[in-house]
Amino acid sequence: MDAPGAAVAGSWEHAYAPFGAPQYPKGFEHFDFADPNAKKGGTLYLQNPDRRTSFDKYNYFTIKGNAPAGVLIFMFETLAMASGDEPATVYGLLAERMRVAPDKSSITFRLNPRARFWNGDPVLAADVKYSFDMLTGGGAAPGYRTTLAVVSSAVVLDDLTIRFELKDRTSDAISAVSTQLWVFSRKWSLGADGKPKPFDQIINETPITSGPYTIESAHAGRRIVFKLRPDYWARDLGVRRGFYNFDRIVYRYYQDNAISMEAFKAHEFDLIYEYSARRWDRVHTGAKWDDGRIKKENFPKGGGAGLASYLFNLRRPLFQDRRVREALDWAFDFEWINRLKQYRRIYSVFSNSEFAAQGLPSPGELELLEPLRSQLPAQVFGMPYVPPRMDTSPMAPRENLRRARDLLSQAGWNVAADGVLRNAKGDAFAFEFLITEEGIERTVTVWRDNLAKLGVQMKVRRVDYALFHKRTEAFDFDLIQIRVPDFTLPSSLDYIDLFGSKAADEPGSGNFRGVKSPAMDALLAAMSRAQTMDQLRDACRAIDRVVMHEHWQVPYLFAPNHRVSYWDRFERPKTLPKYYSIDSPNEYLPQWPLVTWWLKDSERR
């Protein structure tokens, strides 16, 4: 059995580890993946790191509109932060110490008395309570409400101490409160008349936060500049020493990948993360790469690969039959997409980790699955899901399409005289794939052709990000492509948002699929109750078998490396963290290049 985390005994601690003990002791000097002697100064130039092509607000936590990625990365802080060296271990940030009740019924935080917002006000327990109330209220996006729903109440004990009573007495709940409760000042809500505004009406007011940067300027939703606070309160803490080495961070927003790549070549920004193997192979080349002005590097990934897939909207009658969903999987040609051999096929909710299902269900898995047998496909009790392949023999593509045809026929869909797949009512099998980038359409060319051979009509519709965001929040789509962030230790809260029945009816939640499964809810509950690594592993593997054998998605791919091109103007720590991201605001891991690299000199080449 695994040892309990450091803070479970009820004493005040600097860190919390759900299994085992924290790597870094009390009073540690710095993380191994940061250099305390890093040179300070200069400007880091970045592009929009996701599909947002502009911004129209600063409030990152509400549904309507788009906020700049850098606001969350560089301005907001949490009570504790995740380590880049250990799975799910957190170290105090705004909280100087934390105390977990022996039965995990509560966690109490003692704030660092030095913590200050950029306006000079101390960070108080009342501000933490206010932040919690706003993020769990009706004005916040559902994802934040879902994450923090593990808390039954927040109680201010004194100016610097706050206790959270937990509904879920789990390590995931402790981690959620520690690292996903973004703290901001009560004064952020005050209008010109001095009265507080409803949270969803805080739009363009500059967030009053405790992080290392503030907004220096913003221009027409296309450019924003963050300036380092000279009085940043945490710069000498072990969790921050060697971090935030640039005086300014400048984001420019571009409309598509082609434009941003040309801008990168012209050195309008310094670093570009590449998702496409085709572009990595063909576009990240040229004289500036050849002579070393631009570096091209694969940074190894640690931890598990988030589930990237094409999601079926089960709210649509077309996709409610499991056989239909499986048939579309058999028609998918991953091997054509991977002809450059730079990817691996996603095979699990927890690919590239020990939490992926292996072999036949273990006794621990069966203990969870057997009471649910009548609600689950028989395949769940056999071997794990294996994605179909199109390259096993010259006849494999034809055999796979024949398998798909048979499944569709079993579900009542057959090719009519006009060559279109129809059901008994005469309805055509047609659906829309909603995308935001031209490159996504290219990857499904063969899939669309294969479906056409079956009589299936897949229409690809490209829209701008604002419309995509609006439609996905309202679950107004047939098929979309979504990638779940990578993970260190799976958190039940993340998967409750993805697969929990309650989230299916909450616009803006992560349950895009529309899964409503009592069996899945029971397994998610078991995952949240896990007290040992063995229990967590069994619950995750049981969940994996159900998700993949239900075919709620067609799994896509993952890259074993972070592919990054960057201008040769940086130095960096000698040690690479095991768990990190490059530039994403959506992963609760250090954005290693952005927060720990520094310039060779303060001038831009």
Per residue in 187-218, pLDDT tens? 999 988 889 999 999 999 999 999 999 999 99
Which residues lie closer than 8 Å to 61 by C-beta, 6 or more apart? 134, 135, 140, 141, 144, 182, 199
Q: Which residues contact 266 (CB under 8 A, 6 or more apart)?
A: none
Residue 337 is predicted with a pLDDT of: 84
What rounded mean pLDDT belongs to the chain?
A: 93
d(CA 477, CA 433): 8
Please report the pLDDT score of residue 486 as a whole number.
84
pLDDT for residue 602: 54
Delineate the domains of the chain, giving CATH numbers in brackets: 1-25+76-208 (3.40.190.10), 31-56+211-301+562-605 (3.40.190.10), 308-558 (3.10.105.10)
Q: Is residue 34 a contact partner of residue 574, using CB atoms and an 8 Å limit?
A: no
User: Is the per-residue pLDDT at 3 higher than 60?
Assistant: no
For 302-331, b/e burial (b = at least 16 CB within 10 A) is bbbbbbbbbbbbbbeebbebbbbbbbbbbb
- Give the number of C-alpha atoms closer than 13 A to the C-alpha of residue 285, restricted to the C-beta side: 7
* Alpha-carbon gap, residue 508 to 557, rounded angstroms: 25
Asked if the model's pLDDT at residue 1 lies above 70, the reply is no
State the distance between the two ends of the chain, measured CA to CA, in whole angstroms.
Answer: 55
274-319 pLDDT, tens digit per residue, is: 988 888 989 999 999 999 999 999 999 888 888 999 999 999 999 9
> CA distances (Å), 123 to each of 32, 115, 350, in order?
28, 6, 38
Q: Tokens at residue 585, please?
A: 């605001």
Angle between the N-to-C axes of helices 396-410 and 445-453, in degrees from 0 to 180, rounded to the nearest 10: 60
Q: How far is CA 506 from CA 142, 497, 517, in A?
A: 7, 10, 15
Q: Which of 59-68, 370-379, 456-465 is modeled with the greatest confidence?
A: 370-379
* Structure tokens given for 42: 């200069």
pLDDT tops 80 at residue 4: no
Distance CA 9, CA 20 (A): 13
493 falls in which pLDDT band (50, 70, 90)? Answer: confident
d(Cα 604, Cα 569) in Å, to the nearest integer? 8
What CA–CA distances, in Å, run from 540 to 195, 356, 497, 515, 519? Answer: 47, 7, 15, 17, 14
> CB-based burial of residue 116 (10 Å sphere; 0-12 exposed, 13-18 middle, 19+ buried)?
middle
Supply the pLDDT for residue 340. Answer: 64
| Cα 183–Cα 189–Cα 191 angle in degrees, nearest 5 | 160
- Interstrand relation of 223-228 and 248-252 (parallel, antiparallel or unpaired): antiparallel
Among residues 185, 195, 202, which one has the least CA distance to residue 130?
185
List, in sequence order, the alpha helices (H) in 304-454: 322-330, 334-337, 363-369, 396-410, 438-443, 445-453
Tokens (6 digits) for 227: 């300036």
Percent of the chain exceeding pLDDT 70 equals 97
pLDDT of residue 7: 44
